[in-house]
Amino acid sequence: QITLKESGPTLVKPTQTLTLTCTFSGLPPTTETGAMGVAWIRQPPGKALEWLAIIYWDDDKRYRPSLKSRLSITRDTSKSQVVLTMTNMDPVDTATYYCAHSPEGDFYDSSVYMSWGQGTLVTVSS
Amino acid sequence: QSVLTQPPSVSAAPRQRVTISCSGSSSNIGNNAVTWYQQLPGKAPKLLIYFDDLLPSGVSDRFSGSKSGTSASLAISGLQSVDEAVYYCAAWDDSLEGVAFGGGTKLTVL
């Protein structure tokens, strides 16, 4: 069974850097093609889902173009964690942040998220 | 403004059939598979349909997906009150080199 859980601060001040950790279990340390990944997706209150970034098991990374300069995604295999950092936080970044698992296989691509964490609400306010 | 366009809301009576549309372009739906998610209030999204029309294990066959050109649709038959949720379409976008989500469609079962 695959589980993911997000952790991090619930409140950050404007201009601060946000660091979120996704701790997972049930995912193999390596895969045949390295096409499996863990992504971060956020959802402002009452609004739609917004994809942020993904890191694949071959260490390839992709970022949302409009936020690319502010985002960094890394993976710590020894801790079974994926970490997202977002710099220069602004009140518009207030959202529930989810991490989610994208499986590897012929019928899966990076828009397929089989397992999700419960989400963590981050509020940006002074 | 979402890259993928969905109607904000749809409604139908119990036991009826409803469809939710998702309109994109050649860089996303036209060239990549479509995925659908269901989000119940206060919950994380749940995978509903992948690779345009495939159902993950455990998802009711009352849900079905289809795609034609740069548009896709989610159909729900035999509507039940438990189906009240927000539904999102998603697809990889070659121009963005990232995942595009639709704006979400709120389904109300009358």
Residue A28: predicted pLDDT: 82
Q: Is A117 exposed, middle or buried (0-12, 13-18, 19+ CB in 10 A)?
A: buried
- Return the sign of the alpha-carbon dihedral for residues B41, B99, A55, B48: positive
Residue A7: predicted pLDDT: 97
Q: How confident is the model at residue B65 (pLDDT cuts 50, 70, 90)?
A: very high
Nearest CA in chain B to A107: B51
Q: Mean pLDDT score of chain B, rounded to an integer? A: 96
Over residues A90-108, mean pLDDT: 93
Residue B80: predicted pLDDT: 97
Q: Answer yes or no: is pLDDT of A107 > 90.
A: no
Rounded distance between C-alpha atoms, residue A111 and residue B37, angstroms:
10
Residue among A22, A49, A52, A66 with most chain B CBs within 10 A, to mutate: A49
Of B1, B7, B12, B6, give the one whose Cα is nearest residue B77.
Answer: B12
Residue B28: predicted pLDDT: 97
Rounded distance between C-alpha atoms, residue B9 and residue A80, angstroms:
39
Residue B109: predicted pLDDT: 96
**A42 neighbors A124 (Cβ within 8 angstroms):** no
Nearest CA in chain B to A53: B98
Residue A109: predicted pLDDT: 86
pLDDT in tens, A59-91: 999 999 999 999 999 999 888 999 999 999 999
Strand partners, A24: A4
Label the pairing between strands A120-124 and A11-12.
Answer: parallel
Q: Which residues of A91-100 are buried (b: 16+ CB within 10 A; e: fewer)?
A: eebbbbbbbb
Over residues B66-79, mean pLDDT: 97
**Residues of A in Cβ contact (< 8 Å) with B50:** 107-108, 111-112
Rounded distance between C-alpha atoms, residue A98 and residue B86, angstroms:
17
**Residues of A in Cβ contact (< 8 Å) with B96:** 64-65
**Residues of B in Cβ contact (< 8 Å) with A114:** 47, 56
Residue among B96, B99, B101 with most chain A CBs within 10 A, to mutate: B99
Over residues B26-49, mean pLDDT: 97
Strand partners, B102: B4
pLDDT in tens, A18-60: 999 999 998 888 777 777 899 999 999 999 999 999 999 999 9
CA A83 to chain centre: 7
Q: Answer yes or no: is pLDDT of B63 > 80.
A: yes
